[in-house]
Amino acid sequence: MPKFGNEKQAVAVKSQLQQIARPMYNNPPVHGALVVSTVLGNPDLKQLCLKEVKGMADRIIGIRSSLRENIEKLGSPLSWEHITNQIGMFCYSGMTLEQVDRLTNEYHIYMTRNGRISMAGVTTGNVEYSWLKLSMKLQKLL
């Protein structure tokens, strides 16, 4: 580690380095805009990007359908239409704070405390387990 002449000089150097670094962290939208501009400005990259976004959207739609099918197969007395009616990367489950806390503490099924589920965290590998446990637990909580 380099030695500085004195503490005052070390403070001055640190200040200069912070001034150089600060714009890199305070203005991230510029970086994102440059990435988008590069991708959309290149026909091959744009096609690849659109294909990947479509794949992601299709996966989420499929997971939503699978979630609903799994929980309805288990005979839940609740309506779960909202899972497939909603769009996007998150699903509002309608669960109460108490239900969410018990699912997290007892079954390690995680979501925000207002019942919002991240669809990115639900996979074909865990959808059956998650919803079997969720359905069983919800039936006990009702």
pLDDT (0 to 100) of residue 7: 86
pLDDT at 78 over 70: yes
pLDDT (0 to 100) of residue 53: 95
pTM: 0.66
Q: According to DSSP H, which parts of 27-126 are helical?
A: 28-41, 43-73, 81-85, 97-102
Between residues 53 and 24, the one the model is more confident about: 53
| Ramachandran sector of residue 117 (left: φ over 0; alpha: ψ -120 to 50; beta: rest) | beta
pLDDT (0 to 100) of residue 141: 53
Between residues 131 and 65, the one the model is more confident about: 65
pLDDT at 43 over 90: yes
